[in-house]
Amino acid sequence: MTYELHYWPTIQGRGEFVRLALEQAGAPYVDVARKTGAKALMAGLRGGPRPAFAPPYLKDGDLVIGQTAAILFYLGPRLALAPQDEAGRLWTHQVQLTLADLVAEAHDTHHPVDVSKTYEEQTIEAGRRAAGFTADRIPKYFGWLETIITRGETGWLAGPRLTYADLSAFQVVEGLRYAFPRATGRALAATPALATLASEVARLPNIAAYLASDRRLAFNEDGIFRHYPELDGD
Amino acid sequence: MTYELHYWPTIQGRGEFVRLALEQAGAPYVDVARKTGAKALMAGLRGGPRPAFAPPYLKDGDLVIGQTAAILFYLGPRLALAPQDEAGRLWTHQVQLTLADLVAEAHDTHHPVDVSKTYEEQTIEAGRRAAGFTADRIPKYFGWLETIITRGETGWLAGPRLTYADLSAFQVVEGLRYAFPRATGRALAATPALATLASEVARLPNIAAYLASDRRLAFNEDGIFRHYPELDGD
């Protein structure tokens, strides 16, 4: 069965967490909106008895699943990217949900007060929000991830093997490095196990091939992780 | 086995979504920090190989689970508050995750730019954030919930029976009614099925008994849903 991923065709965004899992597993999938455009993407939100609230959503046959973390919870065991036991699967999901909170906070640095307006219409508020994000929030989340990796003693976040949570942690590190290179560099200097995990993920053969392909979109200022130098602190 | 819920003892907050599920099911639980205080709550975040990032967390024997939606995903089948089939359980979880997004946006109306500072230190930004939230975001989320309830034709969000997602939708409606009575009233006038669902949940015998008990904390201006009249639009 070929999975259908439905997400904005011009940004990495939240869809990228799903793409990385599918790519690492070598699973057959179609990135639908990159073929058919965003109009069909939004139309797909309106039909059916269980419509997703927003992209991304995944179709697997008749099943439609929205919410990035829920998609990964579903795919994890199917792609051999989650532990087998219930406690391990819940833990992996919990890490993913916490990464999702970090992603939402990263988004709000450039849209702190009005999601319907551009960044340029809320730069002053963005500066204030980004100051706390870079000084306090990135270090706090990274410190939590570092603690988990260190205590686990395997180099990964959820047990002896790679899981989708590791792929997602890599993506968050990459995104924050793009958006806030100075603040993220400082935070990573204090969290070497997380930095190593991100490097290890980038070196996985399937991930390395994906990152070098034209399937991997570049970060840009339409996505979640945006590089506005004025938000990156001193 | 008695469940241990660990959450801030003086607010409803995110812990309330878990409390409502436990109360509706008549499950044995202890609201630990209401007995031992917040110091032990935070200490509980630091130990163990799989520490939660933030409250609430649930202990069930040796298992510790953080992230509200993950806690409910775990409890759902155990409390007979989730569908039996995988697709139904995923859907219920997806609704819960979307409600969690709405809750996070509600929080950010009073803390749009600096989570470490008080509301009074960011009232201007809060006004701007709340304007979009009350005018656009509440109606959009409520409209999605209304669509689901209407299409499902059972009065509930996820199938023929009450689930934890229905309890959570009730709580979100209650919280928004407290925080933004005018904007929420307007949104509910356009979403009668959601309004009915919230009323039906409030009338469930176990929920009604809980709401009348001293275990139900009052909404207040330390929680997620805060009533600042100046944020409630015209």
Distance between CA A206 and CA A183 in Å, rounded? 29
**Residue A87 touches chain B, beta carbons under 8 Å:** yes
pLDDT per residue as tens digits for the range A46-70: 888 899 999 999 999 999 999 999 9
Q: What is the CA radius of gyration of chain B?
A: 17
HEC per residue, B61-85 = CCEEEECHHHHHHHHHHHCCCCCCC
HEC per residue, A82-102 = CCCCHHHHHHHHHHHHHHHHH
Collect all residues with Cβ–Cβ distance below 8 Å to A55 and sequence separation of at least 6. Answer: A6, A7, A8, A14, A15, A33, A41, A45, A66
- Cβ separation B67–A151 shorter than 8 A: no
**Residue B109 touches chain A, beta carbons under 8 Å:** no
**Residue A185 touches chain B, beta carbons under 8 Å:** no
**Beta partners for residue A64, in sequence order:** A59
Q: Which pairs from B132-137 meet CB under 8 Å and 24+ separation?
A: B132/A113, B132/A114, B132/A115, B132/A116, B133/B105, B133/B106, B133/B108, B133/B109, B133/B180, B134/B180, B134/B183, B134/B231, B134/B232, B134/B233, B135/B183, B135/B233, B136/A116, B137/A115, B137/B102, B137/B105
Distance between CA A73 and CA A81 in Å, rounded? 9
Distance between CA B79 and CA B66 in Å, rounded? 18
Residue written as token pair 């920090």: B33
Mean pLDDT for the stretch of residues B136-160: 97
CB contacts of A74 in chain B (<8 Å) are: 90
pLDDT computed for residue A47 by the predictor: 85
Q: Report the SS3 class of residue B57.
A: strand
CB contacts of B132 in chain A (<8 Å) are: 113-116
Q: Report the SS3 class of residue B152.
A: helix
- Cβ separation B70–A53 shorter than 8 A: no
Chain A: closest CA distance from residue B74 (Å)? 8
pLDDT per residue as tens digits for the range A151-194: 999 999 999 999 999 999 999 999 999 999 999 999 999 999 99
Mean pLDDT of chain B: 96
Mean pLDDT for the stretch of residues B175-197: 98
CB contacts of B104 in chain A (<8 Å) are: 101, 104
Does the pLDDT of residue B1 top 90, yes or no?
no
CB contacts of A82 in chain B (<8 Å) are: none
**Residue B101 touches chain A, beta carbons under 8 Å:** yes
Distance between CA B186 and CA B196 in Å, rounded? 15
**Residue A63 touches chain B, beta carbons under 8 Å:** yes
Element (H, E) at A4: strand A3-6
Confidence category of residue B234, pLDDT binned at 50, 70, 90: confident
- Cβ separation B132–A115 shorter than 8 A: yes
- Of A156, A155, A105, residue with least CA distance to A132: A105
pLDDT per residue as tens digits for the range A86-143: 999 999 999 999 999 999 999 999 999 998 999 999 999 999 999 999 999 999 999 9
Confidence category of residue A233, pLDDT binned at 50, 70, 90: confident
Q: What ipTM did this prediction achieve?
A: 0.97
| Pair A2, A29: CB distance under 8 Å | yes
**Sign of the alpha-carbon dihedral angle for B102, B38, A145, A177:** positive
**Chain A nearest-CA residue for B116:** A132
> What's B31's DSSP letter?
E
Distance between CA A52 and CA A75 in Å, rounded? 17
Element (H, E) at A36: helix A33-36
CB contacts of A87 in chain B (<8 Å) are: 63
CB contacts of A97 in chain B (<8 Å) are: 67, 69-70
Distance between CA B210 and CA B188 in Å, rounded? 24
**Residue B119 touches chain A, beta carbons under 8 Å:** no
Q: What is the pTM of this model?
A: 0.98
pLDDT per residue as tens digits for the range A211-226: 999 999 999 999 999 9
CB contacts of B53 in chain A (<8 Å) are: 98, 101, 141, 144
A194, A195, A197, A199 alpha-carbon torsion, rounded to 10° = 170
- Cβ separation B152–A52 shorter than 8 A: no
Q: Which two tokens stand for residue B205?
A: 């015998």
pLDDT computed for residue B233 by the predictor: 81
**Residue B153 touches chain A, beta carbons under 8 Å:** no
Distance between CA A85 and CA A67 in Å, rounded? 22
Selecting from B50, B112, B129 the residue whose C-beta is nearest the C-beta of A91 gives: B50
pLDDT computed for residue A1 by the predictor: 81
**Residue A69 touches chain B, beta carbons under 8 Å:** yes
Does the pLDDT of residue A234 top 90, yes or no?
no
CB contacts of B147 in chain A (<8 Å) are: 51
Confidence category of residue A204, pLDDT binned at 50, 70, 90: very high
